[in-house]
């Protein structure tokens, strides 16, 4: 079904790969992040408990818990990671 693509001449990189555009995307992303936090002050949050009503709680909680998970994964990785052929070699 898939045929090997003929070697194509050097083209312009896809717009998503140009450094200038990547920088723009980062700014866009930062803008959206700020917006989501700012929007919080315009709506009534009706939190379930106490802490989840703090300003920007979800932003901070989401970021911190993800960083924690990546770190924990890294840590258990030292313990659990093995070479791919671990079970194949005799």
* SS3 label, residue 2: coil
Separation of alpha carbons 46 and 82, rounded Å: 47
CA-based radius of gyration for the chain = 23
* SS3 label, residue 11: coil
Binding mask 12-51 for other proteins (x = CB under 8 A): --x-xx-----------x--xx--xx-xx--xxxx-xx--
Establish if 10 lies at the interface with other proteins (CB under 8 A).
Answer: no
Q: How many residues bind other proteins (CB under 8 A)?
A: 49
Return the structure tokens found at 25: 């995307």
Q: Return the residues of window 47-86 that contact other proteins according to CB under 8 A.
A: 48-49, 52, 56-63, 65-67, 69-74, 76-77, 79-84, 86
The per-residue DSSP string of 34-56 comes to: HHHHHHGGGS----SSSGGGSTT
- Contacts with other proteins by CB under 8 A lie at 1-3, 5, 8, 14, 16-17, 29, 32-33, 36-37, 39-40, 43-46, 48-49, 52, 56-63, 65-67, 69-74, 76-77, 79-84, 86-87
């Amino acid at each position: 079904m898939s045929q090997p693509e003929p070697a194509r001449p050097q083209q312009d990189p896809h717009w998503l790969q140009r450094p200038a555009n990547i920088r723009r995307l980062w700014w866009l992303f930062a803008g959206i992040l700020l917006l989501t936090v700012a929007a919080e002050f315009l709506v009534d949050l009706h939190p379930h408990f106490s802490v989840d009503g703090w300003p920007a709680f979800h932003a901070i909680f989401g970021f911190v818990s993800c960083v924690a998970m990546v770190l924990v994964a890294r840590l258990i990785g030292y313990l659990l990671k093995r070479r791919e052929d671990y079970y194949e070699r005799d």
